[in-house]
Amino acid sequence: MQTASSTPTKQKNRNRPGIVIAAVCVTAAILFGIHIAHQDTAYPSTDSASIDAELVHVASVVGGRLVELRVQENQHVHKGDMLYRIDPEPYQLTLKQAEASAALAQAEVEHQERLVAIKTVEATSAQDQVHRATTNRDLTARTVRRLAPLAQNSYIPLQEYDQAQVAARNAEISLTQATQQSVAATTAIGDLKSSIAARDASNAALARVRYELAQTEVRAPADGYVTSLHVKTGEVLAPAQALFTLIADDEWHAVGNLRETDLATVHPGDCATVYSMIDRTHAIHGVVDSIGFGVMSLDSAGLARGLPLVPRQMDWVHVAQRFPVRVRLDHADPTLLRMGATATFEIRHGASCH
């Protein structure tokens, strides 16, 4: 027969394995939590990233009627491929008009050059007249000076002296007139500045029209996929009106938001393993390209140049802010790359980083 003291001892022995198992489970849970926390810190990751690429909104700087469309929705094009063409006839007519204006301006420059040459010759001739008038004035002046003492002593008739004085005055008047004519002829020469400026303006207008005519043919600025195409030939387009969007496929990225507490261990150039939700069995090698430097926060909302908006209530739970991290994808299978597709990535870890 068992004694009363032996009953608690047996009960304690039966509970001991359960206590050990519970302790082991708690210890394992703690170690697993520590391991997960270390993994999150050492190898930041996100499962809410998305595949991203650059967009080009295809448009022409000139307007007109769409007469030819060579692409269709979701078509892949290469850089330089012809996409669409705007009716060039109005621009061709404008080009002919501009060419005629430029030719007229050039003819005017040549005409002015001939006039300047003629007036230059006339100015040279007028200057020669000044030299001759100066020589004649000096000669008559010397003659008057030589005849003056002879006339005073009556060695010559006074009429001869008077004639010499008249000739001297006439020579002075002729010199004055020749000088005025020379100044006028020199002033009349002018220059070609105005006609050359008009010619340059015409040539600039001609170059502008040629540029606009070239813009009636729109070509692909990069390799990519045509999307958001909802137009047919015959549509009248305004200048700079986007006809469709081109998804450039020369470089793809995965963009995901990481907690600010994890950013200290993330650096541009770090290896990343990326998975596209299109096929999660294929790992894509990536490299951290950049880390966002700012996001909009509701806590700092307020009017521009006004007082900040501070809510009355206080949040006892603080949620870490997240910043976008941009990962460049290297040599990925094109079938896995669609803009906006869901993706996951982990930094310095995974199949692509071993």
Confidence (pLDDT) at 87:
96
Confidence (pLDDT) at 1:
45
Written as six digits, the tokens of 42 are: 């050492």
Cα–Cα distance between 278 and 337 in angstroms, integer? 8
Confidence (pLDDT) at 304:
62
83 & 227 share domain: yes
Residue-range definition of the domain harbouring residue 75:
57-88+216-244
120 & 76 share domain: no
Confidence (pLDDT) at 302:
56
CA dihedral 285, 290, 291, 297 (to 10 degrees): -120
Residue ranges for the chain with pLDDT beneath 50:
1-2
Cα–Cα distance between 339 and 54 in angstroms, integer? 9
**CA angle (53, 58, 62) in 5-degree steps:** 160
Confidence (pLDDT) at 41:
58
- Cβ contacts of residue 45 below 8 Å, gap of 6+? 344, 345, 346, 347, 349
Q: Is 15 exposed, middle or buried (0-12, 13-18, 19+ CB in 10 A)?
A: exposed
Confidence (pLDDT) at 158:
81
Confidence (pLDDT) at 293:
92
Asked if residue 299 is part of any domain, the answer here is no
- Cβ contacts of residue 156 below 8 Å, gap of 6+? 147, 150
Confidence (pLDDT) at 217:
96
Asked if residue 50 is part of any domain, the answer here is no
Confidence (pLDDT) at 341:
95
164: left (phi over 0), alpha (psi -120 to 50) or beta: alpha
Confidence (pLDDT) at 56:
95
Confidence (pLDDT) at 269:
93
Element at 312 (helix H, strand E): none
Asked if residue 343 is part of any domain, the answer here is no
Asked if residue 289 is part of any domain, the answer here is no
